[in-house]
Amino acid sequence: MSTETNTVATYATADELLAAIQPAIGGREILDPATGELVGRAPEHEVADLEAAIAAAHAAQPEWDALGHDARRSLMNQAADAIEANAEALAHLLSREQGKPLNGPNARFEVGGAVAWLRAAAAFGLEAEVIVDDGTTYAEMHYRPFGVVGAIGPWNWPMMISVWQLAPALRMGNTVVMKPSEYTPLSVLALVHVINQVLPEGVLHVVAGGRDVGQLLSTHKDIDKVMFTGSTATGKAIIRSSADTVKRLTLELGGNDAGIVLPDADPKAIAEGLFWGAFINTGQTCAALKRLYVHADIYEEVCGALTEVAKNMPMGVGLDEANVLGPLQNKAQYDIVDSLVRKATDSGARVLLGANPSEDQPGYFYPSTLIADIATDNPLVVEEQFGPVLPIVKFDSIEQAVQLANALDVGLGASVWSSDRDAAREVAARLQAGTVWINSHGGVDPRIPFGGAKTSGYGVEFGVDGLKALGQPQVING
Ligand code: NAD
């Protein structure tokens, strides 16, 4: 395998990039969720394609491992350069396929995140750790590659989440077979096409199939570890189908993150942070704020300040530079959001903003919606709505707020909002969630481990701990 720098093609537009990844004829039509127009055609890979990809990844793995960390780091940084050189074309394609706008914390931001995570996974040091050295015993901990990693992803952040999965896997000497969501295959195919201009052949594959392909990936004897990001229901199916081969799993599953606003918070100062915590990627984010608990003393002020921010955020077609919110990615998700909001309004909850989607526009646009005076057990509060909607529940005591936040079986993220950091940290320590943010919600960082509690999954991604999760621990004793 050569580590020489290859010449990297740069694509000026999303259409040029599409021409490089689409099948010559046929393929499945992918439509723009904002307009209903054709974005492109995705190859319809089947089980035989998966078998071929796994065999090629398996064959390439020993040589990829033998290259060593420094050579892999160098190639990963070159891959990050290649993404940067194609950033605009990638962002336009992502915007058209996923729906997210170019601007705001959306398509350009996501492509930038893909670069940042790739570089971070390349940069971390991971030396063998001396565990005991007492004169009589000497033991070291090493991390060896598993072999072939299967990566199954969702449709909400298809490029960034693909990199979260592939970057630590590659760095640790594994080869990778990716199975993108059937809703957003083109984004992942394009990203991997760009990365693969740099990587040696056979190391990184994409199989753009449906659920049957995902299922085979999670049962296959030559897949040694599965990185999965998606719904809790699918995560449970993967646990079952991976049991016979005792596969290692990292599961990043669904969430329904709570935010708690303490009575000393300043409503105007926190309103924008609350808004983006909930509405990032038009609410289609695993660790977005999905239910907000506000102390009665400042409840009306928080509702008012949040409404002021939300009503001024432009929503529309992603390629329009003015927009920062887009459509829901697919009809099934639109229907979930619509049905949950109807259940809330039917119950008599107060609509502060939105809740009346227009019937006569193309695209799956659901208006930014804020719902107040809602019962704590309303479906909009207790189920994952995954859209541009936030239910706001009033509480009287911190005890009650903590109990409500912890009442669900999910625990991805949570947040506490207060002018008193120590008071916020005390509440944070009592919340059952993988991450608790203070005075913000949902920000992730490649240096900081991220993962869920309860049914939101297990294992962590990011940071050195994230790298270790892609390695088989091996003790050398003696
Ligand atoms: P999904 O579970 O429907 O699909 C995810 C992937 O799994 C797709 O590629 C799909 O084809 C595949 N799949 C489906 N059935 C399978 C099976 N039986 N075996 C193997 N693979 C199978 O999820 P989605 O709707 O694409 O994504 C939204 C969900 O993902 C939300 O619940 C969200 O909270 C969650 N999510 C979690 C995180 C996190 O980091 N925790 C991040 C993003 C999204």
pLDDT per position as a tens digit, 215-269: 999 999 999 999 999 999 999 999 999 999 999 999 999 999 999 999 999 999 9
77 assigned to some structural domain:
yes
Residue 254 Cβ contacting ligand 1 at under 6 Å: yes
* Joined tokens for residue 22: 């689409």
Rounded-to-integer distance, Cα 471 and Cα 149, Å: 10
Residue 211 Cβ contacting ligand 1 at under 6 Å: yes
Tokens 């008012």 correspond to what residue?
304
- Protein residue whose Cα sits closest to atom 18 of ligand 1: 215
Q: Are residues 385 and 248 in the same domain?
A: no
Q: What is the pLDDT of residue 7?
A: 78
317 assigned to some structural domain:
yes
C-beta of residue 14 within 8 angstroms of C-beta of residue 107: no
Q: Are residues 283 and 427 in the same domain?
A: yes
CATH number of the domain that 267 lies in?
3.40.309.10
- Protein residue whose Cα sits closest to atom 30 of ligand 1: 230
Over its length of 478 residues, how does the chain's per-residue pLDDT go in tens digits?
A: 444 445 789 999 999 999 999 998 999 999 999 999 999 999 999 999 999 999 999 999 999 999 999 999 999 999 999 999 999 999 999 999 999 999 999 999 999 999 999 999 999 999 999 999 999 999 999 999 999 999 999 999 999 999 999 999 999 999 999 999 999 999 999 999 999 999 999 999 999 999 999 999 999 999 999 999 999 999 999 999 999 999 999 999 999 999 999 999 999 999 999 999 999 999 999 999 999 999 999 999 999 999 999 999 999 999 999 999 999 999 999 999 999 999 999 999 999 999 989 887 889 999 999 999 999 999 999 999 999 999 999 999 999 999 999 999 999 999 999 999 999 999 999 999 999 999 999 999 999 999 999 999 999 999 999 999 999 999 999 9
Residue 384 Cβ contacting ligand 1 at under 6 Å: yes
159 assigned to some structural domain:
yes
The strand pairing partners of 29, in sequence order, are 41
Q: Are residues 290 and 415 in the same domain?
A: yes
6 assigned to some structural domain:
no
451 assigned to some structural domain:
no
Residue 257 Cβ contacting ligand 1 at under 6 Å: no
Residue 286 Cβ contacting ligand 1 at under 6 Å: yes
108 assigned to some structural domain:
yes
Distance 283 CA to ligand 1 centre (A): 16
C-beta of residue 343 within 8 angstroms of C-beta of residue 336: no
**Ligand 1, from 229, 252, 333, 412: best to mutate by most atoms within 8 Å of Cβ?**
229
Coil, helix or strand for 258? strand
Residue 252 Cβ contacting ligand 1 at under 6 Å: yes
Q: Are residues 93 and 120 in the same domain?
A: yes
Rounded-to-integer distance, Cα 63 and Cα 45, Å: 27
Q: Are residues 261 and 244 in the same domain?
A: no
pLDDT tens-digit map of 8-41: 899 999 999 999 999 989 999 999 999 999 999 9
CATH number of the domain that 34 lies in?
3.40.605.10
Where are any strands of DSSP class E within 75-224? 129-133, 138-145, 148-152, 175-179, 204-206
Q: Which of 271, 272, 282, 291 is nearest to 344 (CA)?
A: 291
450 assigned to some structural domain:
no
Residue 252 annotated among the catalytic residues of the structure: yes
C-beta of residue 390 within 8 angstroms of C-beta of residue 278: yes
Distance 154 CA to ligand 1 centre (A): 5
- Protein residue whose Cα sits closest to atom 19 of ligand 1: 215
**Ligand 1, from 165, 231, 329, 461: best to mutate by most atoms within 8 Å of Cβ?**
231
C-beta of residue 441 within 8 angstroms of C-beta of residue 288: yes
Residue 472 Cβ contacting ligand 1 at under 6 Å: no
Cβ-based neighbour number of residue 261 at 10 Å: 25
Rounded-to-integer distance, Cα 464 and Cα 446, Å: 9
Distance 234 CA to ligand 1 centre (A): 6
- Protein residue whose Cα sits closest to atom 14 of ligand 1: 211
Supply φ then ψ for residue 176, to 5 degrees: -135, 135
Q: Which of 61, 66, 80, 41 is nearest to 147 (CA)?
A: 61
Q: What is the pLDDT of residue 6?
A: 58
Identify the domain containing residue 415 by its residue range: 257-445
Q: Which amino acid is at 27?
A: G
User: Which DSSP string corresponds to 46-97?
Assistant: -HHHHHHHHHHHHHHHHHHHHH-HHHHHHHHHHHHHHHHHTHHHHHHHHHHH
C-beta of residue 336 within 8 angstroms of C-beta of residue 319: no
Cβ-based neighbour number of residue 347 at 10 Å: 15
Residue 234 Cβ contacting ligand 1 at under 6 Å: yes
Q: Which of 416, 458, 468, 418 is nearest to 434 (CA)?
A: 458
- Protein residue whose Cα sits closest to atom 23 of ligand 1: 230
Of the candidates 97, 110, 252, 383, the residue annotated as catalytic is 252
Rounded-to-integer distance, Cα 454 and Cα 246, Å: 21
pTM of the full predicted structure?
Answer: 0.96
Q: Are residues 89 and 145 in the same domain?
A: yes
Supply φ then ψ for residue 379, to 5 degrees: -55, -35
- Protein residue whose Cα sits closest to atom 41 of ligand 1: 252
Rounded-to-integer distance, Cα 217 and Cα 211, Å: 10
Query: HSE of 176 in the Cβ direction (CA atoms, 13 Å)?
Result: 28
Distance 107 CA to ligand 1 centre (A): 20
Cβ-based neighbour number of residue 446 at 10 Å: 22
**Ligand 1, from 152, 217, 282: best to mutate by most atoms within 8 Å of Cβ?**
152
Q: Are residues 156 and 232 in the same domain?
A: yes
Q: How many domains does the chain have?
A: 2
8 assigned to some structural domain:
no
Q: Are residues 396 and 415 in the same domain?
A: yes
Coil, helix or strand for 22? coil
Q: Are residues 401 and 366 in the same domain?
A: yes
Q: Are residues 393 and 265 in the same domain?
A: yes
Residue 441 Cβ contacting ligand 1 at under 6 Å: no
Residue 32 Cβ contacting ligand 1 at under 6 Å: no
Q: Are residues 180 and 119 in the same domain?
A: yes
| Ligand 1 atom closest to 252 (CA) | 41
Residue 181 Cβ contacting ligand 1 at under 6 Å: yes
Q: What is the pLDDT of residue 3?
A: 42
- CB within 8 Å of 50: residues ≥ 6 apart: 177, 179, 207, 209, 213, 216, 217, 220
Q: Are residues 167 and 37 in the same domain?
A: yes
